[in-house]
Structure 1
């Protein structure tokens, strides 16, 4: 082995080990991604090592009581000698690092199904597809079950399992399993799935809606997030996952939710919601009524945002800054884009009516048009489309602006025009899940927002809900 090869192997080992312990900087993560892109054998090695660490973390967490796992003397011996760490030190470190191990990016995270395929002796046999893409817009990255990383995926593609990541607020992905079960992710989300007779999904972050067909006896659909495990026999529900908590809202049927921190379980029936988080009670709350008003909470931090969050200064409140974005449909175009999730603490749905009015407060560095978009759903949670409007903008000499748009100003977003026959013709009467804003200028606009507010008159809509 020459000196360059030895150095490469040493760099690879160091990067992987430190990634699994959550110690990599942003530039080192990029270096690790370059290794994975350049060499299929390194991708396979990473899959094996990442999965081994994940399984180990679970054994240490459960004490090895799961009959499906073995934790014998040979593995214990490996733990004692691996990089000189003691088993006691690994117990402490893995308790801290388990979340980091499971929070692998789209370039780095793979499912258990992928590991089985990577380890298969007969790699020439393609596994059978388990699902088909039935809807897709916006920028996505697909990591297939054999480690392929693809940006060009399309409606009608049949998939064997893997990871899909929505990269922007306008991303939308609809997947139909062979039994008719459907799941949808929207916005900046990441979902991993497999089906070897039992459907297993992991929602790393973002929002997912599901309509699940009755599942086989003893093989419920299992959905994991960082803070909860959901067991589903057949029902309709929504899940929102971020680092500290998982929110589950059930529309039909019942979902069992187990909190990761202590294993406590609760059954959530229709029209109820639960939040699984280590710092609050695990309790059902009934979802009653709707609201027609909403206000963003940018001051509470970057959770459920897309863009660069900026802390308050002596002169400015907390701001969300737009970042450069190339739409998949027009990769030569540069937009400056930001986005926000729409959610109330009590899970009350936010409904749009004929008098709905959006107002956006912020700043720009250049005078340019400002556009505002909304993602909406039907009453049962099914995806209903995306709409956008060109705002009326009032500015002052310092670059501060107030932009506004009334509901009649919104039109179907061009990115979902191909699906207009299956989407709503208007956002009136629907429920808003997310909002975004963007500019399209020759130079960076410096778009920053401090608040978004939805207000409405007393008009009530009688539009039927799907």
Structure 2
């Protein structure tokens, strides 16, 4: 039902410097004296490592805008990284290995493939730094939580519904944050949870989803100029369709509701066409088969037992093997810039492999079995989207400590009808008929060591 935990290397930028330092001389050309100035070399390396200070970030962004040579050097790094990935993969295919070291050699190839895809994504994003146009590209139509926008290294700015945004990067900050955005042609994009999206439109819509999830309702695009959505592991080509896309550390999950999407895997360049009501996963591991499968119809009843099944690493919370324990997340951002931290556990069925869709029905009930080390109020939230794309609204129920009745061992069971959840926006009065993108239980700002053993969505009272 869910994938086990997997080691991942591409999500950690701290290993990039070591990777270049240990590369064979013929593969390490990008670290030679090809950079004209040593400070530029260091800046680019620290850019890849993710260790730049704010001042250095502004400096390298400015230089990438103004210096074509520096942009070419960044592209060279990407090309070298792709070459290294190819060589690593070919070496593993051509060289017999013993059982004892097969796993290590396979992991090494995946490391280079992950590095190649990560740097290629960074190099592709340089196009956003080159742009000087201030023409609005997207309008923020509807949002919840903290939303920030940045452009060409400028400091992040909070944005509000109705704001028009030129090419740049939008981030939804916090587990419950969402943003619905519209292009001028009526194409809708929705981000949910912790997501980061760069976007531009100069005759063609180009999106870079670095992390998180998006859903889209894409109007028919001009011939020869499909909308392109790139992640660290894949690129989707869209002419006009309704789809959902989620990027994870080592793969990309695509679910198509209407139309047709061409999905290309960056690890080896292979591609498939994913039709309506089908899903596909593009992995950094090119040994995995790239194909599409029928997407199951949304369910109104489903359960997850943490005592028997390991949850995906992309859910909120920390598994101890038999339960899942609340972990901190950003709930909101104060005007001062400081964040409010809550402690929670999420169930996000769209990130299962294969994905599962949950439908909120009039008679639906959410059930939890849990315990806390100290009695405290709880919040249960539903984060929803419309069945055919678009933001469906967030909904909550708050439980006081007196509502909870633990047994002798400290375990509680609660059952909350979906009709009792309160809308957080007048624009979305009811969750009925929406898809449950995430169900989140939290102990607010108090870490009570909230521990869940079972989650269930049922139609039974």
- Among residues 454, 457, 465, which one is paired with 2:456 in the alignment? 454
Distance 2:455 2:297 in 1: 20
Pick the aligned partner of 1:445 from 440, 447, 455.
447
Q: In the alignment, does 2:315 pair up with 1:305?
A: yes
Matched, 1:409 2:423: no
Q: TM-score, normalised by structure 2?
A: 0.73
Q: Does 1:114 align with 2:128?
A: yes
Deviations 1:286-324 (A, max 9, x none): 2243322333476636632345x3544xxx744232346
Alignment-derived partner of residue 270 in structure 1:
276
Whole-angstrom CA distance in 2 between matches of 1:147 and 1:448: 39
Residue of structure 2 in register with 1:147 after alignment: 153
Relative to structure 1, the CA distance from residue 405 to residue 158 in structure 2 (aligned partners, 3 Å threshold; closer, same or farther) is same
* Matched residue SS, 1:139: strand
Q: Which digits, 9 at most, give the CA deviation of each residue in 1:40-65, with x for residues without a partner?
A: 434424777995565224434677xx
Distance 1:340 1:290, change over 3 A: closer
Distance verdict in 2 for CA 1:172–1:93, change over 3 Å: closer
Q: CA deviation at 1:136?
A: 1.9
- Paired residues for 1:256-295 under 5 Å: 256-277=262-283, 278=285, 280-295=288-303
Asked whether the equivalents of residues 134 and 167 of structure 2 are also in contact (C-alpha less than 8 Å), the reply is no
Distance 1:232 1:92, change over 3 A: closer
- Between the two structures, name the one with larger relative contact order (CA 8 Å, sep ≥ 6): 2
Structure-1 residue corresponding to 2:16? none
CA contact (8 A) 1:110 1:143 kept: no
Answering whether residue 362 of structure 2 is matched by residue 354 of structure 1, we say: yes
CA distance in 2, matches of 1:205, 1:50: 26
Tell me if structure 2 keeps the 8 A contact 1:206–1:304: no
Secondary structure of the equivalent of 2:419? helix
Q: C-alpha root-mean-square deviation of aligned residues, in Å?
A: 3.5
Seen in structure 2, the aligned counterparts of structure 1 residues 288 and 341 have a Cα distance that, compared at 3 Å, is: closer
**Alpha-carbon distance in 1 for matches of 2:288, 2:79:** 26
Rounded to whole Å, the distance in 1 between the matches of 2:338 and 2:166 is: 32
In the comparison of the two structures, how many residue pairs are matched?
Answer: 389
Gaps of 5+ in 1: 1-8, 64-90, 121-125, 460-466
User: Which residue in 2 is equivalent to 1:131?
Assistant: 138
Matching of residue 55 in structure 1 with residue 55 in structure 2: no
CA distance in 2, matches of 1:211, 1:294: 27
Q: State the TM-score, normalized to the length of structure 1.
A: 0.73
Q: Distance in 2 between matches of 1:450 and 1:50?
A: 51
Residue 358 of structure 2: SS of its match in structure 1?
coil
